[in-house]
Amino acid sequence: MKNNKVEIKDIDLNTARKVNKELALEEMFLPIKIEGNNLIVIGVESNERIIEYLNFIFALEIDFIKIESEIIQNIIDGVFSGESQNLHESFIEKAIKLKASDVHVEPMENEVLIRIRTDGKLSLDRKIKHSEYKVLLSKIKIIANMDITEKRRPQDGKYNLKLNNNSYDLRVSTILTVYGEKLVIRILYGMRFNFSLDKIHLTEYQLKKLMRIISFKNGLVIINGPTGSGKSTTLYSILQTINNEEINITTLEDPVEVIIPGINQISLNRKANIDFATGLRSILRQDPDVIMIGEIRDEETASMAVRAALTGHKVYATIHTKTPREVYLRLDDMGVKPYFLKDSIVGIVSQRLIRTLCEKCKVYKEDICFWGRKIKSYEKDGCIECNNTGYKGRTMVSAVELIEGEYKESISSIFQEINLLSNVEMIESLISLLERGLISINDYRKFILEEGINEKLYKESNA
C-alpha cells in the first residue's frame, strides 16, 4: 500500500474506531482493516506501547505501514469526525439546517431510529446500533444535567448548543419503551422575533377583524389550536404589532422561545414555584397594560385571566381546543361562569398549520374555477431545496372571530348551537392560500377531511 493512496474511503471505520482517538493522535497510529488473521496498521513509527495496545484489543498479527505524520493526523481526524460520541452534533446540526422542531431517537428491536420533524412531519434520518445509542444517550444525559443511572422514570433536561455563531436551546426528554429509553430533543432557536401580522397569511377580512380585536383596550383574546399549530407565532406577531413605549407588556411563557425587545418576558420556573397561576398573580401587581399567558391549563389560571380582562387589562392567551366554540366549553368546564365569558372574551383565533408548496419546484397544472373563483392550480414535485418532499415551510390556516355587539349577545346560545363559532371560516383561509399558489387542491381536500370542516355550512353562509 502506498502512503499517498491511504484515504478514509479505503479504511474500515468499524476497525479504526475501536481504538482511543486521543491515544491514536498521541502515538500517531491507526488500524485500518483486517485481512485474514492480520491487522493492517498505519503510523509514523511502531513501538511496544502500540503493539501491546493493539494485541489487547484485536489479538491479531500486526502489519505496520509507515506513513507521514501530517497524513496520519488528517486521516485520524477524518475517521473520528463521525464517531458515536459526536453523533448527536451530527444529527442536531442537520436538524437545525432543516429548521426542524424536534428530533426523535427511538430504540427498536434490532436498531435505533433517528427521525427529524420538519414542517410538522417526521422523516427518517438514519439508523444506528444499540451500542452507539448507549454512548449517545449517556452523553446527552450528562450535558442535559440528567441522571444517567435512571432508566425507568421519565426525565427532562436541557442544554445549550452553539453552532455557526448562533445559540440554540435544546429541551431533552426521555421515557422508557419496551426496547429501551426513547429520547426526544426539541430545538428552540432562541432568535429575536421579526414576524408581523401581514406575514402570517390572514385574508384581508381576517386581518381587518384581528386589528379590531387588537384595538380594544381590555378584554380576553384566545388563540386556540393543537400543539404545534403556530399559536406562539400569532401571539408574538400581535405583541410586536402593539408594542410601544407607552404600554407595559408582560408575558408568562413555558418557556420563552424568542425574544421581543421592549417586552417583559418571564419563563415558568417550577423550582421557584412560578407556574401560570402564581406568575399571573405576581404580574398583576406589576401594573401591566397587556398580559400574555402562554397557556390556560387550570381553573385558577382561567379565573384570574378572565378577571384581569374584566378589570381593565388586555389579556392574550392560548388554549388547546379544536374550535372557537370549544374555547367556551373548556373555560366553562374550568369553572368560569358563562356571563363572565360573555363579558370578557373579545376575540378568538382558531388556527392550524399547513405545509406550503416549494417555490423552486412546484408545477403549474391548470386554471380552474373553485368556489366561484378563478385559480391557477399547482401541484407538488420535489427538488434538493425541499429535500424532495415538494413542500418547504408551513403557513397558517385560521378562523378569526370578532366578538362584539349583537354577536356577543348571541354567545349565550353557544352550549346549544353546535354550528356557532365553528371552523368553517378556515375554508376562506384555504381558498386564499390556493389563490396565492401556496397549496394544491389535494392539500385543500386533505385538510378539510382531516379537520372535519363542514363545506355545506360554508356554502349556505355564502349563498
pLDDT digits (tens, 9 = 90+) for 194-250: 778 988 889 999 999 999 999 999 999 999 999 889 999 999 999 999 999 999 999
Highest mean pLDDT: which range of 189-198, 377-386, 406-415: 377-386
pLDDT bucket at 439, cuts 50 / 70 / 90: very high
Average pLDDT over residues 285-289: 96
Q: Is 230 exposed, middle or buried (0-12, 13-18, 19+ CB in 10 A)?
A: buried
Whole-number Cα distances in Å, 366 to 358, 369, 441: 17, 10, 11
User: What's phi and psi for 266, nearest 5 deg?
Assistant: -125, 130
Average pLDDT over residues 332-343: 92
What confidence score (pLDDT) does residue 8 get?
54
Average pLDDT over residues 394-401: 95
What confidence score (pLDDT) does residue 192 get?
62
**Which residues lie across from 222 on neighbouring strands?**
317, 348
pLDDT bucket at 463, cuts 50 / 70 / 90: low
Least confident of 141-155, 198-212, 314-328, 340-354: 141-155
Q: Which residues contact 288 (CB under 8 A, 6 or more apart)?
A: 248, 249, 250, 313
CB atoms closer than 10 angstroms to residue 160: 11
Which residue type does 122 have? Answer: L
Among residues 59, 399, 11, 458, which one has the least CA distance to residue 29?
11
Distance between terminal CA atoms of the chain?
A: 82
Whole-number Cα distances in Å, 200 to 285, 353, 403: 33, 10, 21
What whole-number percentage of the chain has pLDDT above 70?
A: 94
The rounded distance, in Å, linking the Cα atoms of 440 and 430 is 10
What confidence score (pLDDT) does residue 2 get?
42
**Which residues lie across from 40 on neighbouring strands?**
33, 63
User: What's phi and psi for 460, nearest 5 deg?
Assistant: -65, -40
Summary mean pLDDT of the chain: 89
- In this predicted structure, the answer to whether residue 1 has a pLDDT above a threshold of 50 is no
What whole-number percentage of the chain has pLDDT above 90?
A: 62
Average pLDDT over residues 59-85: 78
What confidence score (pLDDT) does residue 81 get?
57
Q: What is the phi-psi region of residue 335: left when phi exceeds 0, alpha when psi lies from -120 to 50, beta otherwise?
A: left
What confidence score (pLDDT) does residue 5 get?
56
Looking at per-residue pLDDT, the higher value among 17 and 154 belongs to 154
Long-range contacts of 261-267 (CB under 8 A, 24+ apart): 261/192, 263/239
- What confidence tens digit (pLDDT) does each residue in 107-153 have? 999 999 999 999 999 999 999 999 888 878 877 887 788 887 788 99
Pairing of strands 29-35, 38-43: antiparallel
User: What's phi and psi for 118, nearest 5 deg?
Assistant: -125, 130
Sheet with 38-43, side-by-side order of all strands: 29-35, 38-43, 61-66
Cell numbers of 396, please? 397558517
The rounded distance, in Å, linking the Cα atoms of 133 and 112 is 7
Least confident of 164-178, 190-204, 269-283: 190-204
Domains and CATH numbers, the chain: 3-80 (3.30.300.160), 84-188 (3.30.450.90), 197-461 (3.40.50.300)
Least confident of 5-19, 238-252, 329-343: 5-19
Cell numbers of 180, please? 429501551
